[in-house]
Amino acid sequence: MTAGVETATALLRRFEPVLRSTKGDKFYPMDVEPYVQACSLWVQRPGQEAVCVVRGDKLTLDKLAQQPLDEAGAVHFLKFTDEDDIGPDSRGRRLRRFQRSAKNRKESREAFRAGRGRLARVGYVSRFVDALYSITLLARGRVPGESAAAASVAYERIMAENEHYRYHGRVVRQDGWIVLQYWLFYPFNDWRSGFFGANDHEADWEKVFVYLSETEAGEVSPEWVAYAAHNYTGDNLRRRWDDPEVEKVGEHPVVYVGAGSHASYYSSGEYLTELNLPLPSPLARVADAVRSFWKTRLGQYVRDGDEDEEPGYFYIPFVDYARGDGLSVGEGGDRAWDEPRLITDPPPDWVSGYRGLWGLYARDPFEGEDAPAGPMYNRDKSINRAWYDPVGWAGLDKVPPPTETLEAVLEEREDIASRCTALRTEIEEKSWQLKKLGAEVASMRGRSHLDAPYEEGTKRIAELSGELDRLRARLATDETVSESLEEYAARLRAGEHDPARAHISRAHTPASEDELRVSRVAEAWAAVSVSLMLISFVGIWMFEREHLISMLVFSIALFAFVEAGFRGRLVNLVSSANIGLAVVATLVIVYEFFWQLVVAIVLIVGLYVLWDNLRELRR
């Protein structure tokens, strides 16, 4: 259910976020209408070339929803970048394109400095995988290199005609919450081309949700906020309104926007984001089994954080720069928000009727370079959870609004109390039944003609006893939970709250000052090390074939040692190298002394059994 238009707009404006971008960012939240008018609509049908169905100067928000040539497997998409800018080559166009790209790069360089390179923050394997990932971009579908520059020009053209900063607002009631949805539309995501990130794509939909509770008198108060970051969902996304991490200007939450990616963060800083490339499942299962054996059976050390993290062995690092030193939009910022475009209920056609992509369809199998779908849909045309279940999207579906918490606690306690009463009655009945059964079995003991019913009775006693035990355990647990609920209700009545961050298992934290403080040498090493290692391998292969193995081992050890020194991972390196050496040495010993070891093991087992038996005899 959506609130009335005036109330909805008033609520949205009251809590609208303040966006703080990073210096060097070129795109800001804009209205969809001028964007769509600057686009052409295309359709890509399976096995065919993409066809333009509505030309750029003819497209409007109303026409967008009509989607001609829709059929199974067809993908509709918009093209924002001007055909003249990236169309078929001519000398003039090539020159213009080159000049624009060069100008764009120069402006970016002047405005944005990456600081400590992302590669200096991660290990060798990750750097190597990153190099492979970059190479795959040549083979994968991707947004053309000039698109960012062309999009920047098109965006500047729109802003020159009518400079505006607008969000698309929606107000929804769900499960006792009022959800204010701020849908932010950016014309281009230039994370890869502008800020060394994972991808580029035309159009970018981001979202910030504010969750309000409402009293019976109709007063609303903000309780939670949730910022979208890299398709994350659940508890870790949301923060309580009184969490010190949520910076506010009056009643407006502050959002630090990732440069190029437009991901939203609570604190300013540089965030290391990792793309996890999982091992194939059979290999992953083997690796997990070895890891578990290593830790639990051998009692060996496992690296920090490994237990909580999802298993992964290859990561590609990316840094999301959310420094907050660029343009600020919203209350107290450099620019004010324009009147929001309201998404009412039922939603307008451009939201519900257009299920295509909002920018170029690059046909990237990993989808990272394809434009996103609109606020209501996913790329596969299914409905977006943030749209139909904004409360569950942020993991708030299990949290009652403050006005309902006490009621929920008391009702749950009553339910448990009645369950306990039923359990006590059942336990009493079963207990009496068990006693009767015990008496019956005792009466049959020692009477050979009653062996069969005796056996059956004994079996029934064991079953009933087990069942009774389970019921008593459940009753004990329920009684403890009931007491806990009573205490919780008392705390709530006294006005106490849960800790603000109790629900967060893994918070996104920016890189610390220590992590950012690194010498130029370390950064240079990170940039050249992978190439240098590969070149040295080739050199060894060409000039030191006689000592191939030893030279390879020596060079790898040298690179690893320097690398570990720079990254402060000397302990891990020594530990890993030692384990490798220990495994090899164990194999050597087993190979050299196999039968002696077998004899020794048998002897040890024999002596242990003898010692154990003698000890028993002495007692």
Confirm or reject binding of residue 507 to other proteins (CB under 8 A).
yes
Nearer to other proteins, 189 or 529 (CB): 189
Confirm or reject binding of residue 289 to other proteins (CB under 8 A).
no
Closest approach of other proteins to the CB of residue 466, in Å: 36
Residues 439-468 that bind other proteins (CB under 8 A): none
Instruction: Give dist(CA 224, CA 238) in Å, integer.
Output: 7
**Residue in 493, 578, 600, 611 binding other proteins, rule: CB under 8 A:** 578
Confirm or reject binding of residue 230 to other proteins (CB under 8 A).
yes
> In whole angstroms, what separates CA 417 from the centre of its chain?
40
Residue 329's DSSP bridge partners are: 19, 335
Closest approach of other proteins to the CB of residue 496, in Å: 27
Residues 122-181 that bind other proteins (CB under 8 A): none
Give 360's contacts (C-beta < 8 A, 6+ positions apart): 77, 78, 79, 80, 81, 143, 147, 201, 202, 370, 371
Residue whose entry in the numeric block shows the structure tokens 């209350």: 331
**Residue in 77, 167, 191, 525 binding other proteins, rule: CB under 8 A:** 191
Confirm or reject binding of residue 77 to other proteins (CB under 8 A).
no
Radius of gyration of the chain, Cα coordinates, nearest whole angstrom: 33
Total number of residues that touch other proteins (CB under 8 A): 55
Confirm or reject binding of residue 535 to other proteins (CB under 8 A).
no
Residues 3-42 that bind other proteins (CB under 8 A): none
Binding segment (CB under 8 A) for other proteins, from list 140-148, 492-500, 520-528, 581-589: 581-589
Give 148's contacts (C-beta < 8 A, 6+ positions apart): 104, 188, 190, 193, 194, 200
Nearest alpha-carbon partner for 166 in 152, 189, 148, 182:
182
Confirm or reject binding of residue 217 to other proteins (CB under 8 A).
no
Closest approach of other proteins to the CB of residue 377, in Å: 15
Closest approach of other proteins to the CB of residue 564, in Å: 11
Nearest alpha-carbon partner for 123 in 287, 353, 317:
317
Confirm or reject binding of residue 269 to other proteins (CB under 8 A).
no
Closest approach of other proteins to the CB of residue 134, in Å: 16
Alpha helices by DSSP H, 544-569: 548-567
The site map against other proteins for 233-252 (x = CB under 8 A) is x-------------------
Nearer to other proteins, 366 or 559 (CB): 366
**Residue in 48, 592, 595, 618 binding other proteins, rule: CB under 8 A:** 592
Name the amino acid, one letter, at 169: G
**Residue in 283, 574, 599, 610 binding other proteins, rule: CB under 8 A:** 574
Region for residue 500 given its phi and psi (left: phi exceeds 0; alpha: psi -120 to 50; beta: otherwise): alpha
**Residue in 273, 384, 482, 529 binding other proteins, rule: CB under 8 A:** 273
**Residue in 366, 488, 537, 559 binding other proteins, rule: CB under 8 A:** 366
Closest approach of other proteins to the CB of residue 574, in Å: 5
**Residue in 42, 155, 211, 271 binding other proteins, rule: CB under 8 A:** 271
Nearer to other proteins, 37 or 576 (CB): 576
Confirm or reject binding of residue 300 to other proteins (CB under 8 A).
yes
**Residue in 49, 304, 546, 616 binding other proteins, rule: CB under 8 A:** 304
DSSP designation for 94: H
Closest approach of other proteins to the CB of residue 257, in Å: 12
Confirm or reject binding of residue 189 to other proteins (CB under 8 A).
yes
Nearest alpha-carbon partner for 122 in 317, 320, 310, 319:
317
Neighbours of 588 (CB within 10 A): 10
Q: Is 467 helix (H, G, I), strand (E, B) or coil?
A: helix
Nearer to other proteins, 357 or 409 (CB): 357
Binding segment (CB under 8 A) for other proteins, from list 140-148, 335-343, 477-485, 500-508: 500-508
Confirm or reject binding of residue 558 to other proteins (CB under 8 A).
no
**Residue in 135, 589, 602, 609 binding other proteins, rule: CB under 8 A:** 589
For 562, how many CA atoms within 13 A lie in the half-sphere containing its CB? 17
Confirm or reject binding of residue 229 to other proteins (CB under 8 A).
yes
Instruction: Give dist(CA 102, CA 217) in Å, integer.
Output: 60
Task: Say if residues 189 and 200 touch (Cβ distance below 8 Å).
Answer: yes
Instruction: Give dist(CA 204, CA 216) in Å, integer.
Output: 38
Residue whose entry in the numeric block shows the structure tokens 């290391």: 272
Nearest alpha-carbon partner for 583 in 283, 311, 298:
298
Name the amino acid, one letter, at 142: R
177-189 and 75-79 beta bridge pairing: unpaired
> In whole angstroms, what separates CA 306 from the centre of its chain?
17
Nearest alpha-carbon partner for 147 in 81, 61, 216:
81
Instruction: Give dist(CA 52, CA 77) in Å, integer.
Output: 9
Instruction: Give dist(CA 119, CA 525) in Å, integer.
Output: 9
**Residue in 247, 274, 331, 544 binding other proteins, rule: CB under 8 A:** 274
Residue whose entry in the numeric block shows the structure tokens 């009573």: 486
Confirm or reject binding of residue 264 to other proteins (CB under 8 A).
no
Nearer to other proteins, 178 or 526 (CB): 526
Binding segment (CB under 8 A) for other proteins, from list 144-152, 309-317, 325-333, 460-468: 309-317
Confirm or reject binding of residue 95 to other proteins (CB under 8 A).
no
**Residue in 10, 570, 602, 609 binding other proteins, rule: CB under 8 A:** 570
Instruction: Give dist(CA 407, CA 10) in Å, integer.
Output: 30
Instruction: Give dist(CA 399, CA 177) in Å, integer.
Output: 10
Confirm or reject binding of residue 588 to other proteins (CB under 8 A).
yes
Q: Is 204 helix (H, G, I), strand (E, B) or coil?
A: strand
> In whole angstroms, what separates CA 617 from the centre of its chain?
62
Confirm or reject binding of residue 593 to other proteins (CB under 8 A).
yes
Residues 314-353 that bind other proteins (CB under 8 A): 315, 318
Please give the residue ranges that form the binding site for other proteins (CB under 8 A): 189, 191, 198-199, 204, 229-233, 261-263, 271-276, 295, 298-302, 304-305, 310, 312, 315, 318, 366-368, 370, 506-509, 570-571, 574-575, 577-579, 581-582, 584-586, 588-589, 592-593
